[in-house]
Amino acid sequence: MTLIIAVDGPAASGKGTIAARLAAHYALPHLDTGLLYRAVGLALLDQGIDLDDAAAAEAVARSLDLSALSDTHRLTDRGAGEAASRVAAHPGVRAALLDLQRRFAARPGGAVLDGRDIGTVIAPAATAKLFVTASTEARARRRWLQLLARGETIAFEDMLADIERRDARDAGRGTAPMVAAADAVLLDTTEMDIEAAFDAARRIVEAARAGA
């Protein structure tokens, strides 16, 4: 049976870690789709192109392949996250990356994908759909501590403002806004450590498999 797992949710909700753990558990390939948008944003920054230049952003997205995701350290820094949120608002960028993501989801045996619109746009027929969330303050604190551990200095208040700004941009864009699929199971990780969150996610997937 093909197993496609869609894991959506806002920044720093824990969806990426959960998706990676699910992929390892079920021996499936995993794609963090947010890295695609981060790669597009970084490519524009490297070329000195305005992130609001929709045509240039679309051109970069159309030439992107998965090898661009190799520099995970740079792709996961704060600047890349902000750039990703801005370029993801361009409909042309989302359209350019759509086929790449859908081809990944259609791999033999299945796949695990995490992002903002997996269950609604990329893989609406996924076997299991999770929408992972947490309070804004909890998500900001997680990202703040993560950046501090990497040697990046930022005030917690600024990190909180960043998270709130990204949430508003992701939920408010006209194309594929961040929203839970109607049949997604909500997983609130505010009070959970990663082991508890993974166990809850695994149980959601098992229930979906049994239902299928």
Give tens-digit pLDDT for 106-127: 999 999 999 999 999 999 999 9
- pLDDT tens digits along 157-169: 999 999 999 899 8
- pLDDT tens digits along 29-40: 999 999 999 999
Per-residue pLDDT band for 152 (boundaries 50, 70, 90) equals: confident
Q: How far is CA 117 from CA 13, 142, 153, 154, in A?
A: 15, 22, 31, 29
Kindly list the structural domains of the chain, giving each domain's residue range(s) and its CATH number in brackets, ordered by start. 3-205 (3.40.50.300)
- Which one, of 90, 84, 101, lies nearest residue 37 by Cα? 84
Per-residue pLDDT band for 71 (boundaries 50, 70, 90) equals: confident
Per-residue pLDDT band for 56 (boundaries 50, 70, 90) equals: very high
Structure-model confidence comparison of residues 128 and 88, the more confident one: 128
Distance of alpha carbon 163 from alpha carbon 167, whole angstroms:
6
Per-residue pLDDT band for 67 (boundaries 50, 70, 90) equals: confident
Q: Determine what percent of the chain is predicted with pLDDT higher than 70.
A: 100
Count Cα atoms within 13 angstroms, Cβ side, for 174. 4
Q: How far is CA 158 from CA 98, 137, 198, in A?
A: 32, 12, 29
pTM of structure: 0.89
139 contact partners, CB below 8 Å, separation of at least 6: 10, 11, 12, 13, 163
> What's the pLDDT score for residue 63?
94
> What's the pLDDT score for residue 79?
85
- What tokens appear for 25 in the block? 């558990």
